[in-house]
C-alpha cells in the first residue's frame, strides 16, 4: 500500500500535475490525484512528473500516474 496523502490546500498548491506532459496532452482538469483518486477525464500516458513533486517527496510516494491509477493509499 502507498502512503495516505492528505487532501488539503497546501498539498494541492504543491501538486505539479498541470505541468506534466500527460496532463497537457489529455484534457485533465483535476489536481492532487495521489490524494483525491483517479481523474474524471480519461488520460493518455505521455510521461509523469510525480517523482519530482514535493508532495511525492514528503509522503515517500513511489509510483507514477495517480491520475489513472487512483489514490496512493489504494495502490500496492
Among 2, 37, 56, 71, binds ligand SF4 (CB under 6 A): 56
CB nearer ligand SF4, residue 64 or residue 75: 64
* Nearest distance from C-beta of residue 24 to ligand SF4, angstroms: 9
User: Taking a C-beta distance cutoff of 8 angstroms, is the pair 18, 31 a contact?
Assistant: yes
51 in Cβ contact with 14 (< 8 Å): no
Q: How far is the CB of 26 from ligand SF4 (least distance, A)?
A: 8
Residue 34 interacting with ligand SF4 (CB under 6 A):
yes
CA–CA dist 34, 7 (Å, integer): 9
Amino acid at each position: 500500500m502507498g502512503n495516505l496523502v492528505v487532501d488539503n490546500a497546501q498539498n494541492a498548491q504543491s501538486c505539479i500535475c498541470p505541468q506534466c506532459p500527460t496532463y497537457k496532452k489529455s484534457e485533465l482538469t483535476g489536481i492532487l490525484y495521489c490524494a483525491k483518486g483517479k481523474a474524471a477525464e480519461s488520460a493518455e500516458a505521455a510521461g509523469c512528473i510525480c517523482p519530482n513533486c514535493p508532495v511525492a517527496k514528503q509522503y515517500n510516494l513511489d509510483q507514477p500516474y495517480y491520475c489513472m491509477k487512483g489514490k496512493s493509499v489504494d495502490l500496492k
